[in-house]
Copies of this chain bind each other. A is one copy, B any other.
């Protein structure tokens, strides 16, 4: 098998062992004589998968019992709207910290249904190159929540220390760095994330919501958009994205077998250290716009001395089967997305290519 080195910004690489397991049981799931693609979401066999995905996630992240774990369809973009639809209303405000294109979108959707505030923004000349410091946050103690985007895929920044928001719960879009390491969930009232970067395939979005915030959710919005509907019915109010949840379960099992989130963090730190190490060794050649203390462990972005060299870099990458290295069209340059399931060996091969390329063209 000639596996590509998958640096796609999402959907992204999955563990080969997970794909092999999916393949091996695709025609006969758990001895049912049916594919997992054909089983009823009301069957005992599927329910075991559904509940195992939840309990594995609870175990790996240390999520207390006062949080619900939901599996929804529609993508994280639906959550940009569902969160304020459920939590805002007349006289209720929320704070948004703007660190990139995704937080901008989330804020825009919140404005459509309520009156959110900007608590901070790090936009300078249309770009975001850092995460704000605690003292920059102008927090409203009456806010229902403070919304952050924990990792910014396009600009390559990431919150390394989550903000102190006092008694106001944090709502975080963790689509692009969920499960990258252990973290303390207690300050969070709600976490959401599309699966297709660090959790599984496209098609399912995880929402983790704390009981006290759930109790405040509205019941006068469409039933399918109410968090309460999905919490009450354990994400089985309607047919869930069965197959995507099945893969999430296999991915979580894989993490656990490998050593849990402590191991995952070690891997991710080693991968990022290797790439940023090359960048910092050739500071005249690889120009990283992001402030060092805001660098993302998931997406390293950098420019080369010219667009011509960037194109040459991308052209040469093809021969190595490096996929997905082109920066987002809004910022250009190169982006190395090294999500959870991008193997260290792929990162090592890319790092060597970067070193050779710099030496050849510097």
Contact = CB atoms under 8 A, between A and B. Distances in A.
Interface of A: 1-4, 6, 8-14, 16, 19-20, 22-23, 26-28, 32-35, 37-41, 43, 72-78, 80-81, 85, 108-109, 112-113, 194, 196, 201-204, 220-225, 237-244, 247, 321, 323-324
Contact of A11 (B14, B28, B113, B239): B239
Given A11-B41, A14-B35, A201-B37, A1 B20 contact: no
14 contacts: A3-B34, A8-B43, A11-B39, A11-B239, A13-B34, A19-B26, A32-B323, A75-B239, A80-B222, A81-B224, A108-B223, A201-B242, A243-B243, A243-B244
B224 A74 contact: yes
Contacts of A202: 41, 239-243
A74 B37 CA distance: 17
Given A77-B238, A85-B222, A38 B14 contact: yes
A3 B38 CA distance: 11
A320 B351 CA distance: 57
Given A33-B321, A203-B244, 17 more contacts: A3-B34, A11-B37, A11-B40, A13-B38, A19-B35, A20-B27, A23-B23, A23-B27, A33-B323, A73-B73, A74-B224, A77-B223, A109-B222, A113-B222, A196-B239, A202-B239, A203-B243
Q: Which of A11, A76, A201 has most chain B Cβ within 10 Å?
A: A11
Contacts of A8: 38-40, 43
A354 B223 CA distance: 40
A53 B286 CA distance: 41
A6 B33 CA distance: 9
A176 to B, nearest CB: 12
Contacts of A194: 239
B26 A23 contact: yes
Contacts of A238: 75-77
Contact of A75 (B13, B37, B81, B224): B224
Q: Which of A8, A112, A239 has most chain B Cβ within 10 Å?
A: A239
The 8 lowest CB-CB distance pairs between A and B, nearest first, are A4-B33, A81-B222, A203-B241, A74-B74, A73-B73, A77-B238, A73-B74, A37-B201
A96 to B, nearest CB: 16
Nearest to A241: B203
Contacts of A324: 40
Q: Which of A32, A38, A77, A223 has most chain B Cβ within 10 Å?
A: A38
B75 A40 contact: no
